[in-house]
Structure 1
Amino acid sequence: MKRNSFVAAVSVAVAATFSVGFVNITPKVIYGDDNRVDVYQVERADIRDVADSTVALIPTRSIVNSGNGLVKILSSQYGKEMNLCSDEPFFDQPTAANCSGSLVGDDLIATAGHCVSNADCSAYAFVFGFKMADAKTAPESLPASEVYNCKEIVAREYTSAQDYALVRLDRSVRGHRPLTLQRTPVQAGDGIYVVGHPSGLPTKFADGANVRSQQGAYFQANLDTYGGNSGSAVFNARTNEVVGILVRGASDFTYDRVRKCTMSNKCADGGCRGEDVTNISYIVDALKK
């Protein structure tokens, strides 16, 4: 994507394809410049506030009670896990999440339909605060109060056109505010950004994107996203309102046969297929029921 001035520093890129227990997450890709940065690098307080309402969907088996009100997040080193080339950004960061989500009610999370299952909504914990504190401080431990479980799936669709879910947590969320949802559909050319967990990494923010086309059930955009971003909230860059849920896109990686390692797949800013984003209207309607 085209870079803009939302961030204080530049350092980003990565991705992965995950199998999320029930279905395969469709990968995503980088368009133009790679705009993804860690939350601590974001200068704007309103964007940091939005990011604070993001959750990582982490397998419950990867969360261990450490005592003293803390939990340990079991993770792997991203670069080694994915056989990345050594110059890939985020190489040393932990990867733990399979999907992303966002807080849209006191106890309600919006995510992608392919990220959760009606058969077993307890497979994943919904974790706030899985982010880098600075360039070297990874979220290895978190307060147990930041970890929530699924009580029920309020609404869910997973078809070729619609891919969304609304999940009720086991208790009301404290310390994070529900996001505001846009009531009108985005149009081609609208500026947007995304917050989530590409490749299961700590929270990343990526701006500078635009809507390519509005398809009714979903829209296409040139967002810098990857597997693990599925379920991420996509925002109106002007109002910070949620306009959609990231669900699928182009391939994450290419293989460097000379170096024998994996590197980020990149497309021209207006190239490749684009990323598909379910319109937030489905969540708006589900919240009314």
Structure 2
Amino acid sequence: MVIKAIYGGDSRKEHSAMPLEWRVVGNATAMVVDKQALVFDSNGVFRYERSLSSRLNGDCEGNPVRFNDQPTPGRCTATLIAPNMVATAGHCIAPHLCVRLDFIFGATSESMVLGSHFASSLRYSCASVEVSVSSGGQDWAVVRLDQSVPASIASPVRIAQTEVVVGMPIMGIGHPDGLPRKYTGEAQVQQVARPGTPAFRFATNLDAFVGSSGSGVFETERREMVGIIVSGQRDYDDKGCLIRYPQEQGPIAGFLALAACVAIGSTAS
């Protein structure tokens, strides 16, 4: 997976701390999990026990990082773009991995508690990988779910038709480090590259991590999706401490524009 980082202060927030209008958008976010990780038992009971602290090399000299006691079952993030379609990063999934991956909605810190029950309406399998591209400067995928997600669970996000420009305020929603859903804002588009081409990308100072790959990036005025997180910088040092970068120093390679995903998602049946 690619790596991300913290820029300035850590702006990540829990689902419960967000205004209603953002929680509605966030409900379209799915955690991508590997069936082999045995996140749920056969009855849909959450059973995954490995926490963030157990995944780090150290405890940051006695100063544990935020969310260190939360579970980390996620491997990537996906976003609902049609009732039975999600968009994610291309390096997160390939056709041969389809049978192994599930997509979990409602994966917040309030719900991902050991012994809690996840209804079948929150758990979906990969039916097919419609597109997966991770070369030539592109990194995106569209996955067809085994069934449509009911509107009572989540509604597909709106895809922005506006141009991505330097200075645009943005919000990222995903599963950094495989954690329950987090919202990260207080960020802007800092660079754009190769506009008008299939390999168009833009860099930002969003706080993101391994597991954030595939997360939706939204412009904040209309809360419409403008991109997908695909890469960034190193997260932690060898002592398990967060690496902090200057606020103005954006990721090495930021996000993939969604233009290629729009037509596929809008015609999903």
Length-normalised TM-score, structure 1? 0.83
Aligned to 1:91: 68
Separation in structure 2 between the aligned mates of residue 75 and residue 50 of structure 1, nearest angstrom: 28
Aligned to 1:53: 28
Matched, 1:126 2:100: no
* Residue 145 (structure 1) shift: 2.3
* Residue 107 (structure 1) shift: 0.2
* Residue 66 (structure 1) shift: 4.5
**1:221–1:274 contact (8 Å) kept in structure 2:** no
Q: How many residues align?
A: 255
Deviations 1:239-277 (A, max 9, x none): 10000000000111113xxxxx31111100012544511
Q: Which amino acid aligns with 2:94?
A: S
Aligned to 1:212: 190
Matched, 1:202 2:202: no
Question: Which residues in structure 2 correspond to 1:36-185 (within 5 Å)?
Answer: 36-42=12-18, 44-61=19-36, 62-67=38-43, 70-82=44-56, 83-85=58-60, 86-133=63-110, 138=113, 141=116, 142-174=118-150, 175-185=153-163
Secondary structure of the 2:97 match is coil
Separation in structure 2 between the aligned mates of residue 34 and residue 50 of structure 1, nearest angstrom: 21
Separation in structure 1 between the aligned mates of residue 147 and residue 232 of structure 2, nearest angstrom: 33
Range with bigger deviation, 141-150 or 261-270:
141-150
Length-normalised TM-score, structure 2? 0.89
> Which of residues 1, 7, 10 is equivalent to 1:34?
10
Deviations 1:38-70 (A, max 9, x none): 11111x111011111100001112233343xx3
* CA RMSD, Structure 1 to Structure 2 (Å): 1.7
Q: Which amino acid aligns with 1:54?
A: T
C-alpha distance 95-140 of structure 1, shift in aligned 2 (>3 A): farther
Separation in structure 2 between the aligned mates of residue 275 and residue 239 of structure 1, nearest angstrom: 25
Question: Which residues in structure 2 correspond to 1:6-45 (within 5 Å)?
Answer: 25-42=1-18, 44-45=19-20
Q: Which amino acid aligns with 1:172?
A: S
C-alpha distance 102-227 of structure 1, shift in aligned 2 (>3 A): same
Q: Which amino acid aligns with 1:124?
A: L
Range with bigger deviation, 204-213 or 55-64:
55-64
Separation in structure 2 between the aligned mates of residue 204 and residue 182 of structure 1, nearest angstrom: 21
* Residue 71 (structure 1) shift: 3.0
Q: Which amino acid aligns with 1:244?
A: G
**Structure 2 gaps, min length 5:** none
Provide runs of 4+ in structure 1 moved above 6 Å. none
**2:39–2:73 contact (8 Å) kept in structure 1:** no
* Residue 184 (structure 1) shift: 2.9
